[in-house]
Structure 1
Amino acid sequence: MKGKRFAALWLVLVLTLSLLVVPAGAVSFTDMQGHWAQEDVEYLAGLGIVKGTSATTFAPAQKMTACEALLFCSRATGVSAADKKQIAADRADQLKEILPESVYSWAAEEMAVCLETGIISASELEAMCDSGALLKSITRENLSMYLVRAMQLEPMANNLTSYSMSFADTASISQVLRPYVYLLNTYGIVQGNTANEFMPQGSLTRAEMATMLRRAIDFMDEQGIYAELPAYTDYQWVGGVIDAVGSTSTGATLLTITGNLTDTFSISVPATVPIYENNIRTTPTALRAGQYVRVNLDDKGAAQAVRLGGALTSYSGSVTEVSQDSITVSVSGVSKRLDIDRFTRVQVGQVVGDLSLIEADAGYTQAQCWVDGMGHLAELKLSGGTQSADGLITAVENTASGQTITVSAFNGQRSQYTLVSGAAVTVNGKSGSITVSNKGDYVSLRVSNDNAGSAVSAAVDTVSDYVQGPIKTTSFSKSPYEISVEDSITGKSRTYAIADNAIARYDGETIDVRNVSRNTFATLQISGDQVVLLDTYPGSTTTQGVIESITYASPTTLAVRTPQGNTVTFSIDLTDLPDIERDGKTSSIDKLRSGDSVTVTVRYNEVYEIEATSQNATLSGTITRVVQDTAGVSIDVRFADGSSDTYQVSEGVSVTQKGSVISLYALKPNDAVDLTISGDEIVAIEVTGSSSSSTQITGSVLVTNSTDKTIMLQLEDGSVVTADVDDASFVTITGSSTSLSKLAAGDRVQLYGQYSGSLFAATLVVKL
């Protein structure tokens, strides 16, 4: 045992010396003079890629160990010194568990590069260490596999269907390693000896390794090959399957691309942009329909490199294990593990993004995987399970369909969630329920991925104190630092001392507390009257989606359904309306409709601008029946072709006539209507014709529109009506004259006039 241990330690010492001796610029080794590999060795040594066993010797005949060969291969990848250092730091814990301590001390950095670039896998390295093969001489055929991987050509090796060779000893090459040897031989990296033998089981000398390495590096330079490291790049990219290939007047190639998880788009690829197929430079003629392609973009969004991945193969199965690095799926009873990186497009529920969407404890049940011809997981769709959502409770509402809570995320965006039947609710770790008294408390939710807005569990924390709102002032001139925030719930400002060890973040990134600035939106966690956490976000944010409903009250609530399926709510002060545009023209809130596409801009936690685009009606017909009961309102509609259908109409659906809002409950049989349908749901109703009646109405002013000469009223039964007052006279209850411009939100009025269908045309307006 002592003898074996001494021999191992001696071998480690020799390896350490051979790899760590510093190269000497223009290098000349005494034992390389006249040697057949002299030019290659001295060239690589001058670049610092290979090193001598001493300042003057190279030991060309010394056999290479597997460890030495791996480290030499790592140098062919072209990974920068900065990336190498970061990779080593990121993989330090992993390598400490795999490598013997005596090897880790000098080989860790380049071995980390081997793992990151795919030269060797963690399981392969672990097996090599356990068997002792790491410090033993390496065979020529095994070296071929590692060198092909270093050259980023393993996908090509895996896709080869024919790889015949003319070596006299081809039959002696291991079957699984023949594709690797074939590629190296094809590209002139390895050659047979004078007897045309490859000698697959033969050992490899340092001189032979240097020559092979020189040829490999030269080949990579000629072909423009480099190791692309997803985790250490930050440029934007787009990807999908090529639908069509065209050309532009400038000579660029125009690609039409469709993703399984994204819409179809086109991108221009100038003739100067490099194109890679199987990681080797190719020409635009390689761009063919049916192939998966990834286009890397520069900071201006223009193509800077194109990588072809071959045809996509789809796998569907149940998820057995998942993380942000990999997923294991059971496909027809066969377990399949796939790596995930930042070049993998990911969809969770309705949300499409990158691997940051994946939560290890989400409980996904099904996965659909699209893998390109190079074995890379290009697209991944996860179904089932839940995602996390958290923030402060701002509203609690109990309805017939369940309990709905509004939650303000740490960036101030408010979303509504409905607790499903049987949802697990805890308060401070114990089973409980959510009530209006929890307004302002922190809540952590698990929300269904397949039914956005449905929460399956909620954990409320009433112990910790939180405050949200725009930062009004900061003071960092003396200790303790101070911050003043306008509370979004109470509307009052308060100044707080900041704890010495407080953590500050801006848009998710940790910052120095002194870099927190006024007018940003902040969520503060308070402990012992001091701020211990400051989560700050830009003062201006935008949300895009479709208007789901508008609830007129004080304040009025605009609910927007985002493309991800979430409902985001915005509070609007009718006495201080934001700028509103609809279809590119200045408009007002009473003109907004459910179903409108909308962009809402919020500045310092207040709605600043609303830009809406109207949606056209898709169905026209006549109401044959209206049913009002505890479930709401349902209508039967007969269409021109004689068919009919029944629709449940929710409270939030906008009902209009001649462009003005009328009450949902004003709908009557024989009303002619245009319906805007989304899926199976009505999102807007426009009454185009109906019967009339005369009456008087009383209510509170919500919005006055001096341009259109209309008043939006909330009647005593809670319904909302828009009245045309263009021909009306205005008086007060005392009989004095007044005008539309003198009416304000909240004023009580009584209108006399006549309904035209469901639109009220007033002849007299009395301010009560």
Structure 2
Amino acid sequence: MSQHKKWKRLLSSFVIFSLLASLTVWGNTAHAADAIATSFGDVPSGHWAEKHITKLALQGVVKGNNGLFKPNDNITQQEAVTLAVRFIGKESEATTDAVFPDNFKVGNYFKPYVVLAFQLGLLDRNEEFKLAEANKSASWGEQKASREWITKLLIRAIGQQKLADGLASTAIAFQDGNNVGTGYKGYVNAAVQLQLVKGVTAQKFDPKGSITRASIATMFSRAESQYPVTYAGQLNGVLSGKDKTSIKLYGADGEKTFNLTSQTYITRYDSEKSSTLDQLVLHTNVLIITSGDKVSYIEQLDDKQQLETISGDFVSVIPDKHILYILVQNEPMPITYNDSVVVKDTTGAVLPITSLPKDSKVQITRATYGKSTLALSVTVQSAPINKTGSGKATFIDAAAATLKVMNAATNLEETYTVSSKADVIWQGMILDGGISQIHVGDTITYEVVNSIITKVTVQQTSTTVTTTVRGQFYSASADGKTVSYKKNAGTPQEKLDIKFVTDSAEITIEGLSGTVLSDLIQGDVLDLTLNSSDQVTAIKVVNRKVVILNGVTVRGYDSTTKVLDITSAEGKLISLYLTDKTKIDSNGSSIPLNSVASLLVKNRKITLGYTDDKAVLLQFVYKYSGTVTSLNTYLNQVTIAQSNGTTSTLPLEYASSVDIAGKSSSTLADVKVGDTVTALLNANQDKAVTLQVHTAAQVEVVSVDAAGKKLKLKNSSQATSEYSASAWDLFNDNGDKITLSNISAGQIGNLTFVGSTPVAFATVKVTVGRVLAVTTTKLTVMDYNGIASDLPLGSSYTVSKNGVTSSSAGIVQIGDRVEVKKDPKGQVVVTIIPAVSKEFWKYEASSSVLSVKRVNLSESNIYVVTSKTKVTQGDVQISITQLKDGDKIALYFYQDGLLEIVKIS
């Protein structure tokens, strides 16, 4: 008789009986009081599954026996089914007993749970009867549950059957994936995808292996993110407040206060360990389990603070109505507040809300959850300033009209907006170009009216002062030493003027690279930049640009008339004149006009630049550069989108034609869509002989040889290499061009490669210091030179703390010591420098050695103090001699050195 028919017959013999509610999942009624325990004698503090066992115990999903959890015992199938039923909140429905087939044996206590599991679809009776039939050596209920069997039960319990069905034919990522039973494959894939289960190692799943109670508790605890169930005493909401003894939770019923006890278990979503109250971030989602008004368990569920910040100019406050007004985009906005709002001035000091300076720029933080939009804090970012000052310019952004000055009197950096009408004066002369004529390092005096700079006088310049004049090009000397131009051309005041040209003068014509003086033609309108010696340092053509056409096809060339006929990539027919001014280039070599006819054969690909009907530039195509839009590894071909909008699909001449810095034997499989590449073409221009992938790596400058034009750099693996930088493009962290003399040892920079060839180097600004303020868009950091800076985070950034990486600034706390820099992709990386707690013993000035009290014999207790090591207490720098035996201190280390010693008051 089939098992299915047996089942139908036996259903008629179901017996209804009452179960004692105090029975535990592990077996008897003798210790019902243990069911509400939050800890077990055999689950010590710090146990790897403590967090999950504690939560499930408080939820009533797992229960102990004689005060023990037995985390290392293997769970049986009947115990696992009982756990699953409790997990989905259906325990009260497990009331029906049954008589099963003789070979399907289940403990009496567990029978109602198994019956309910069959009814709910957590188990398939035919599948389980077959398993029982196949293994007659042990009862079905007391068999140790295998990892694959538990995984199937869990996925069905959380209603993810459809996901498992869709993954049934997908290969399992573990090396022993072939050992997973046919009926379990989709469930294992689903559990891994949902991050509910991991392998016993990174490569091994062990599907037939048994599973411990600690492991199954962890699996079901993680599954709550996929299958939320409301348990008695459990609440979800936003952590709206906290102190040492209580928390405030904003939930469906508004804000309520709950008390904390010494037994409250605190944890975070991104940690398997317990946490401290200080590590819980306000205004984030939390889960709590309570007993009355006391919190037994609290877990922060994410790092997204449900806050918004509003910036504007303070207008007025009406204390009686608890309303303040700010001006946002020239529109008044009312902001409500209550007596708990925190108001701070620019120094961080708390002040009454009635003392907010009128017209000061403020930032208001308020919650986005709940019905209330009360302001939580008001921070004065800047108050109206009227003053005169002097100091050194540290930053200039002419486009944003921003000037930063290190004030000579206070030794603090100040940031100002500069009026568009501000006079910039040098040696009694008003300079054209405004603050663009000021340079970093210039000594200046400045006048500020209502926080806006209205006048700057350059007292001493750190570089050559320049001016700009405009004129019409007339001629240039054959040796390139002078340029003649007409001032006020076409007017009665027209006058011919001549200027000497410096050897390093930069000539710019839009669309044309590598421009030289001989590329200028009569009629060009020029902006000439003159240094303080009245010499030309730069020439820019402002009335003409060169149109560049990539990949055009030669139709024919008449060497008599010098007319070249071409077809553009869009199929347009164009005729252009070649002249003695046309720059003709083939793979970097110049070709005279009278020798080009033999090269301009029909159907040849060229790059052409022209103005009006005259060719300015002619290059024989030997490469394409752009972004990879598609790859075909079977045909070994790549499609490249160039900056001019054209797309080229090229096969690689050889399978090994790919060149990637630091990677030998590269193939097309190593290239990704979105990579920037340069394809070097063969003689027929129909294949790529080399595909150079553009990459970047962050390096440290070891030494600079400016005379030899060499840089010695150290990579992330600490390997040192010397490079010839004579042909490199060099930039600072603002993107401005620099020379080798502007680079110094110890600087961090990004080295750009085209293939395995380095082509550019850009310095990276690294800020190390103490966090003064944190918002979702920026950090304010005081560096170890005492300079405070606002560091924008950008649209994409990462924060690293104790080896854990987050995309939220919420884990950064005021007072944290941090390193802030940009990675090779230009994204901001914030690294929180951990504090090491110690107890001070002594300091030996003669050897500059700090000794701390040793906790255990294996740890170091001496540290070298350098001239760069800061010693602080609070926000004040102190002498190391002020530290006494027994003082609590925190040590911060950076780049293998002792960065700071903090006395903890």
What band does the TM-score fall into relative to the shorter chain? under 0.3
**Bigger relative CO (Cα 8 Å, ≥ 6 apart):** 1
Using the size of structure 1 for normalisation, the TM-score is 0.24
Of structures 1 and 2, the larger Rg is shown by: 2
Point out the structure with the larger helix share. Answer: 1
